[in-house]
Amino acid sequence: MFKTLMMASALVFTLAAPVHAKEVVDVADLVDKHGPAVVNISTTKLVKKNGEGFPFALPDDEEMQDFFRRFFPRGGPHGPLQEMPTRGAGSGFVVSNDGYILTNAHVVRNADEVEVKLIDKRKFTAKVVGTDSRTDIAVLKIPAGNLPTVKLGDPAKLRVGEAVAAIGSPFGFENSVTAGIVSAKGRTLPSESYVPYIQTDVPINPGNSGGPLFNMKGEVVGVNSQIYSRSGGYQGVSFAIPIDIAMEVAEQLKGGGKVSRGWLGVVIQEVTADLADSFGLDRPRGALVAQVQEDSPAERAGLQASDVILGFNGKVIENSGDLPRLVGMAKPGTKIPLDVWRKGKTQTLSVALGELPAEEDAATKSSRSYSRGGLALSELSADQRRELKLDHGLLVESVTGDAARAGIRVGDVILAVNNGKVATVDAFRKAIAGVSKGKSAAILVRRGDGSLYIPLKMSGE
């Protein structure tokens, strides 16, 4: 409950630059014409709480659930556990008159029920057709027809400084309108590789997520998705997913409930001025290959660490963030020419793209437990590699059996087995498979700021 409401004076926009006759230069006209296609989304999720309302969610792990049931037989410290609803809110907009709605994946993630409310007060229980967390896009379907729809624009034609407006439900205040300008285009955010975000100064707050960003022609050019904030609320910087990318994802979700992306199989980094000079490049550009994953399309194409990718399928790679988006948008199985800078000259490689694993599959693939050796390992993320200043390594997540007896600890980073670098979990598995029972493998471990070899004797357990 909010105890105080901050009142703000109205901000009047004066458009000094000349506008085309077709443009809607009045935000009020824009809202009257296109606002009915914007919807409010309410979600309900059932969580475990005790009888007195104190939140006490059971963990997913079954052993931990048994622990709590044994030590809290009444279900929790204040009474038996019950399923209680928690509610969330967001925004969305109708993209086809037969009931398809676009919103953010994080708005409907893990929801047990999704309700859509139209501007005419009608309410519908929505079906989640599909979600894609990599772009934060979700498609909903409601049982209704002849619905008002938005008009889609071209984000490529947006200019920095151009006026834009958003409609949504900040803090649950339905059908609120805010306005501002485009602050920048093509923004790459930390851990977000597939979206060149539109940055704006449009006031966006919790509840605006999934709502449309309009240009002054009344066209949707983006899906409001994120804010940059130290307080949790709007602080002048907000980000929207370009509508062309959102619709491409939506069409795949409508077609099969999932998104298929191309996969190259490299770890890349930005080319700095110093790196460009050391590689003999005329200026900082391209994507530097820091690591080529084993058994990947990149390895099969002959790509090497220290290569600088300058072009992908005829498109220039200026910044490293350009590459993941282009690869992701390409169809798996497609043969693509790569322009590569290697040892002072340009050459072209042909690569047949694979299919990027689903996030669930990727998580399973990168973190596995082994009965032999007693280790559960995960591949270092890009952020972890940067923090540790490593180009490869496997993080030890749990230790039992042979590994525990050898002195390997949780938090160690395994760099090599018998002097052979291990950059993937599969590489570690293959290296260990070659060690006979009763023999030892020399495990190079990074621990803290130092490194040491640990002999891992294989007992055959």
Which residues form the catalytic set? 106, 136, 209
Residue showing tokens 């038996």: 80
DSSP 217: T
98, 129 contact by CB (below 8 A)? no
Type and span of the H or E element at 294: none
Residue for token pair 């709007």: 234
CA angle 386, 390, 393 (to 5 degrees): 115
Distance CA 431, CA 443 (A): 10
Q: How many other CB atoms are found less than 10 A from the CB of residue 362?
A: 12
Of 75, 182, 195, which Cα lies nearest the Cα of 133? 195
The total number of residues shown for the chain amounts to: 461
Smallest Cα–Cα separation from 195: which of 36, 326, 57, 6? 326
What are the DSSP E strand ranges found in 216-325? 219-227, 238-242, 262-263, 266-270, 287-292, 308-312, 315-316
Determine the Cα–Cα distance for residues 336 and 313; give it in Å rounded to an integer.
5
CB 298 within 8 A of CB 391: no
The span from the CA of 72 to the CA of 205, in Å, is: 39
Written as six digits, the tokens of 459 are 């007992």
147: Cβ contacts below 8 Å, ≥ 6 apart:
37, 94, 97, 98, 99, 118
Amino acid at 155: P
CB–CB of 380/394 below 8 Å?
Answer: yes
Q: Is 98 left (phi over 0), alpha (psi -120 to 50) or beta?
A: alpha
CA–CA gap between residue 440 and residue 419 (Å, rounded): 13
Residue identified by tokens 């859509």 is: 116
Nearest Cα to Cα of residue 393 among 420, 418, 362, 416 = 416
3-state helix, strand, coil split of the chain in percent (to 5) is 20, 35, 45
